Structures are given as C-alpha cells and as structure tokens.
Amino acid sequence: MRIDCLTLFPEMFDGPLNHSIIKRASDAGIVQIALTNIRDFSADKHKKVDDKPYGGGPGQVLMCQPVFDCFEHIEKLSGDKGLPILLTPQGQKFSQAMAQQFSLEKRLILIAGRYEGFDERIRTGLNARQVSIGDYVLSGGELAAMVIIDAVVRLLAGALGDEDSAKDESFSELAGGFLEYPQYTRPEVFRDLKVPQVLLSGDHAKIADWRRLQALERTQKWRPDLLEKHQ
Ligand code: ADE
C-alpha cells in the first residue's frame, strides 16, 4: 500500500512513522508512506497558503491553489489513483470498520488541514471523503492522519509480527463488537493482587468461556453502545 500525506507540518510525523510497527512495515516494503509539504506548492512569493474568509469572521482559511497543485503533483507519483481523504472534525467518524475498508485500498491520500478550515472547493474539487477521528477539534489534521495511518498499517498482511498477529486473531477486539477480556502476566501474586485461578488451571475450554464472559460483561458495563450497535 502507498499512503501519501499532504500537510504543512511533515516533521510532526517523524516520531510515529519511525518507530514500532509502522517503521517495521515501511522497512519491509509493506507500506510506503510519502509526506509532501503543501507550502512547497504555494505560488505566492512569501509561500502563503491561507487567507481571510470571504464574508468576514475569525481566523484563516486554507487556500485552494497550494492544495490543488500539491495534490495534482503527488497524484502523478504513482500509477494508482488513490482514495483522497480530508481530515476534518466535520467528517464521518473513524472506526475499526473504516480502518479495515481503508486497508484494502492500494493507495490513500490523506490531506491534513490547519487554520479555521479548508476552502470548500478543496473538498468538492478533489472529491474527497471527509473523516474525523472524534468529536473534538484538533489544531490540525496531522494527528488524525497519524491515527488513521497507525490503525490501517497494522491491518496490512505481514505488518504485525507472528506473535502479535496470532494474538490479534484470537482477540475479538472492537471489530467483533466487544472489548478485550482482561490479561495477566507474571507474577501470580503482585502486592496481594492475584491472577484469577481459572487462568492457571490449564483447562483451555474453561479459560475460553471465562474470557468470553469477561469480554461480554465489561462491554455491557463500560461500552453498552457497542452491543447496541452490534444487535
Ligand atoms: N482536524 C481537526 N480536528 C479534527 C478531528 N477531530 N478529526 C480529524 N481531523 C481534524
């Protein structure tokens, strides 16, 4: 998969893209992530990318010209057309199901905005899907883009090590509509806190039953909305 990210702050991506699973997947050629600075495409002599909103109001609006030119430039860098995604709090809420859909694409083109928003013609002109990572306002789309990249890349075949991927399959996780069951590791007793006896029993059927029940109970208690959605 190829992921292009159009941003005014490519250096913000340094940490997340250069560690752990994403780094490993990039090194293994499972994903190719390309960051492009929108400002490099500004036709303005001061490299301006934003301007005051027509009709008045506070803040600045990201202009069409640098975004369209940047987009048209990166489009040509690969034979795959790509799914353009605009990161905005107005978008459809990102979910595990959406991450799974995105993971089937050959190419994603994430566009991170700043300022008070995008000129509306960016959304309509690029025919981009709008995605939000939650009902709160971030200072820009970069963190949202990183969240999406992380959630998508770990779903690509081979991105997780054997150990992690085996674990993932046996976990129902959010995709199955349930929260995870509780996990424990050594020691058996830590400051009077004991590991549940059933996990030490060696009885795999009993352990599986216990885990299913735990997953159900904690979903009912903490995230009843997930069960409603599932029914
Ligand atoms: N940009 C600003 N806030 C955002 C959000 N919640 N999701 C995606 N992009 C954003």
Q: Which ligand 1 atom minimizes the distance to the CA of 87?
A: 9
Q: Is residue 176 part of a domain?
A: yes
Residue 12 domain flag: yes
pLDDT tens-digit map of 29-83: 999 999 999 999 999 999 999 999 999 999 999 999 999 999 999 999 999 999 9
* pLDDT average, residue stretch 94-116: 94
| Average pLDDT of the segment spanning 98-108 | 97
Which one has a higher pLDDT value, 6 or 113? 6
- Which mutation among 61, 87, 114 tests ligand 1's pocket best, with the greatest number of atoms within 8 A of CB? 87
- Residue listed under structure tokens 């979910």: 95
In this structure, the residue with its CA closest to atom 4 of ligand 1 is 89
Rounded to the nearest integer, the mean pLDDT of the chain is 93
- Closest atom of ligand 1 to 139 CA is 2
Same domain, 126 and 23: yes
Which residue's CA is the nearest one to ligand 1's atom 6? 89
Distance from residue 195's CA to the centre of ligand 1 (Å): 40
Same domain, 148 and 174: no
Rounded Cα distance, 46 and 89, in Å: 29
pTM for the whole thing? 0.92
Q: Are 18 and 113 found together in one domain?
A: yes
Residues 128 and 186 in one domain: no
117 Cβ below 6 A of ligand 1: no
Is 160 contained in some domain?
no
Instruction: Compute the half-sphere exposure of residue 176: CA atoms within 13 Å on the CB side of its CA.
Output: 14
Q: 177, 226 in Cβ contact below 8 A?
A: yes
The answer to whether residues 173 and 144 belong to one domain is no
Whether residue 109 has pLDDT greater than 60: yes
The predicted-structure confidence for 159-215, as pLDDT tens digits, reads as follows 998 766 645 544 445 556 899 999 999 999 999 999 999 999 999 999 999 999 999
Residue 204 C-alpha from the chain's centroid: 34
175 and 118, same domain (yes or no): no
Q: What is the pLDDT of residue 208?
A: 97
Cβ(138) – ligand 1 distance below 6 Å: yes
pLDDT of residue 116: 81
146 shares a domain with 176: no
**Structural domain contains residue 99:** yes
Residues 131 and 183 occupy one common structural domain: no
Are 7 and 106 within one domain? yes
Q: Contact 2/31 with Cβ under 8 angstroms?
A: yes
Q: Are residues 141 and 199 in the same domain?
A: no
Co-location of 52 and 99 in the same domain: yes
Distance between CA atoms of residues 2 and 83, nearest Å: 11
Residue 228, in any domain of the structure? yes
Instruction: Flag whether 159 is in a domain.
Output: no
Pair (183, 144) in one structural domain: no
Q: CATH no. for residue 14?
A: 3.40.1280.10
**Orientation angle between helical segments 20-27 and 142-153, nearest 10 degrees:** 70
Tell me the CATH number at 192: 1.10.1270.20
Provide the domain limits for residue 85: 2-153
Dist CA 231 CA 226 (whole Å): 9
Please indicate whether residue 30, judged by its CB atom, sits closer than 6 Å to ligand 1: no
Residue 162 lies in a domain: no
Which of 81-95, 163-177, 216-230 has the highest average model confidence (pLDDT)? 81-95
Does residue 66 belong to any structural domain of this protein? Answer: yes
Residue 91 clears pLDDT 60, i.e. is over it: yes
